[in-house]
Amino acid sequence: MITVNDLHKHFGSLEVLKGIDAKVEEKEVVCVIGPSGSGKSTFLRCLNLLEDVTSGEITIDGDVVTDPKVDINAVRSQVGMVFQHFNLFPHKTVLENITLGPIKVKGESEQEANENGRSLLEKVGLSDKADMYPDSLSGGQKQRVAIARSLAMNPKVMLFDEPTSALDPELVGDVLEVMKDLAREGMTMVVVTHEMGFAREVGHRVLFMDEGVIMEEGNPEQIFENPQDPRTQSFLSKIL
């Protein structure tokens, strides 16, 4: 589904990604872990071209998205992104947040988008909130709306950037539950997370990033029970 070849990203003179090679299969859930500043967010943002890559190649579902001729908006409409701070649109109702993309980007009729939106809200357990404004929701509810908003575009891949790290601990569970459902349904997902429990339970593969490279990767048992790289070991010993 996603292939990344020798991806480099500079911010001015600072090299943040130093040659990333990665592959994500269809229906695979890949969790990305690593210390702060290691480039996890930047990597994720490169995948849907929120950052322009300095060099390297990214292919999504057969399309080379790093090709300068590619229609960036079309690529993004097929790659859902969920942010740490939700980034819901405060001037729109919950339902309008969800239907904006389908109506404006995919040209769905309002009725079609509304029906779809309501069923997505049901799926994330928030059907009663359709006409509320985001400000009146809890963090966990906001994040579930944000997930529904991304799903409304019917993406091929979902990217999550620490979706639960801005939440109060008691609200994390609901969001993770929604993400687990998605994984079970076969959504291809790349998840930057500090939730090691989630990575263990749902992740098919874990990538450990440090200083702009993928230091180690493997299935969750390998990484968590038997890490090979000393830096993975020290990182895990600090957080587990």
Partner 1 sequence: MIDDFLNSHYIKVLPDLIPGMGWTLGLTLAGLFLGFILGAIVGLGRLSRFKIISGFCSFYVEVVRGTPMLAQILFIYAGLTRDVIGFNIDPITTSIIAIAINAAAYIAEIVRGAVYSIEKGQHEAGRALGLSEKQTMRYIVWPQAFKRMIPPLGNQFVISLKDTSLLSVIAVNELLYAGKQYYNVTYTPFQTLIMVCLLYLCMTIPASLYLRRLERKLDV
Instruction: List interacting residues with ligand ATP (CB under 6 A).
Output: 11, 14, 16, 34, 36-42
Q: Return the residue of 141, 150, 164, 232 that touches partner 1, per CB under 8 A.
A: 150
Interface with Mg ion includes 41 (CB under 5 A)? yes
Interface with partner 1 includes 1 (CB under 8 A)? no
Residue 147 CB, nearest distance to Mg ion (Å)? 18
Give the tokens for residue 60. Answer: 């999504």
Q: Return the residue of 6, 27, 37, 91 that touches partner 1, per CB under 8 A.
A: 91
- Using an 8 Å Cβ cutoff, are 216 and 208 in contact? yes
**Closest to ligand ATP by CB, 39 or 220:** 39
Q: Which residues contact 58 (CB under 8 A, 6 or more apart)?
A: 2, 3, 4, 5, 7, 46, 47, 64, 65, 66
- Strand arrangement, sheet containing 157-161: 79-82, 157-161, 188-192, 29-33, 205-210, 213-218
- Using an 8 Å Cβ cutoff, are 193 and 163 in contact? yes
Interface with Mg ion includes 97 (CB under 5 A)? no
- Using an 8 Å Cβ cutoff, are 224 and 236 in contact? yes
Binders of partner 1 among residues 49 to 78 (CB under 8 A) are: 50, 73-78
**Closest to ligand ATP by CB, 2 or 207:** 207
Pairing status of strand 29-33 against strand 188-192: parallel
Residue 48 CB, nearest distance to partner 1 (Å)? 6
39 binds, among partner 1, Mg ion, ligand ATP, none (CB under 5 to 8 A by kind): ligand ATP
